[in-house]
């Protein structure tokens, strides 16, 4: 059971009252509220992009037990508590697969996401296909999309929120040009906290 602090509840009420009127679904608005709360920035509303039905698909997958694969330990740590108190999904960081001797020319995080996807997707099929959370590494996002081109399975959801200036916009553009279930924040904005907040908003809806 989740017991929210009164200050958090007051913050969400304030955010709701100051959002621009929109045509987002119930779940999309829940994600938006959490991202504005996490970032302290109402401009996120103009940058947030959902593929159709992505949130609904993700909640269904979370309820089915889909694992959550993150690009950083920070994002994993921010999700684990919510997962424990909701649908108890397994949360694992790409760091689990880091191997300095076998990176195949990739960054450690890109390699870890690739190996993590291959292992977790083989064990979790259909509705339980992994949810991938990218809040830091654009190279991990680009490499994920590359390997998905030859994969028989797709993630239940891709959170595309790498942050920074080198390769970030390009990686998000690649994600936008796919048909995968996705949530992303356009521009150079993003980060582990925001990516985790998007997942946590969906996890809250599993109870």
* Catalytic site residue from 12, 19, 24, 37: 37
Q: Residue 149 pLDDT more than 70?
A: yes
Average pLDDT over residues 140-148: 97
Q: Name the band, by pLDDT with cuts 50, 70 and 90, for residue 103.
A: confident
* Share of residues in the chain with pLDDT > 90 (%): 93
Alpha-carbon distances of 176 from 10, 51, 63, 154, rounded to whole Å: 34, 9, 26, 15
| Torsion angle of the four alpha carbons 121, 123, 124, 126, in this order, in degrees rounded to the nearest 10 | 80
Q: What is residue 2's predicted lDDT score, i.e. its pLDDT?
A: 77
Alpha-carbon distances of 79 from 83, 93, 201, rounded to whole Å: 6, 11, 10
Complete edge-to-edge strand list for the sheet that includes strand 131-134: 48-50, 182-185, 157-160, 131-134, 68-70, 91-93
Q: Residue 104 pLDDT more than 90?
A: no
Q: What is the CATH number of domain 49-204?
A: 3.40.50.10230
Average pLDDT over residues 66-72: 98
Please write the tens of the pLDDT for every residue from 42-60.
999 999 999 999 999 999 9
User: How high does pLDDT run on average in the chain?
Assistant: 96
Its pTM stands at 0.95
Active-site residue, 37 included: yes
Average pLDDT over residues 82-98: 96
Domain limits of the chain?
A: 49-204
Q: Residue 1 pLDDT more than 70?
A: no
Average pLDDT over residues 171-192: 97
């Amino acid at each position: 059971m989740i017991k929210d602090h009164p200050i958090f509840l007051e913050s969400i009420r304030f955010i709701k009252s100051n959002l621009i009127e929109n045509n987002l679904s119930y779940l999309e608005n829940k994600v938006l509220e959490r991202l504005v709360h996490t970032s302290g920035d109402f401009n996120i509303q103009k940058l947030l992009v959902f593929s159709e039905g992505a949130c609904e698909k993700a909640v269904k997958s979370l309820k089915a037990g889909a694992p959550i694969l993150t690009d950083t330990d920070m994002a994993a740590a921010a999700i684990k508590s919510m997962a424990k108190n909701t649908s108890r999904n397994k949360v694992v960081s790409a760091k689990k697969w880091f191997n300095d001797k076998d990176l195949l020319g990739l960054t450690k995080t890109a390699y870890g996401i690739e190996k993590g996807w291959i292992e977790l997707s083989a064990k979790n099929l259909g509705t339980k296909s992994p949810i991938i959370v990218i809040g830091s590494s654009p190279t991990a996002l680009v490499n994920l999309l590359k390997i998905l081109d030859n994969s028989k399975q797709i993630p239940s959801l891709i959170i595309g929120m790498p942050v920074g200036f080198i390769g970030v916009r390009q990686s998000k553009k690649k994600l936008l040009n796919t048909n995968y279930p996705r949530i992303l924040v356009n521009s150079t904005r993003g980060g582990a906290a925001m990516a985790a907040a998007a997942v946590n908003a969906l996890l809250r809806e599993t109870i």
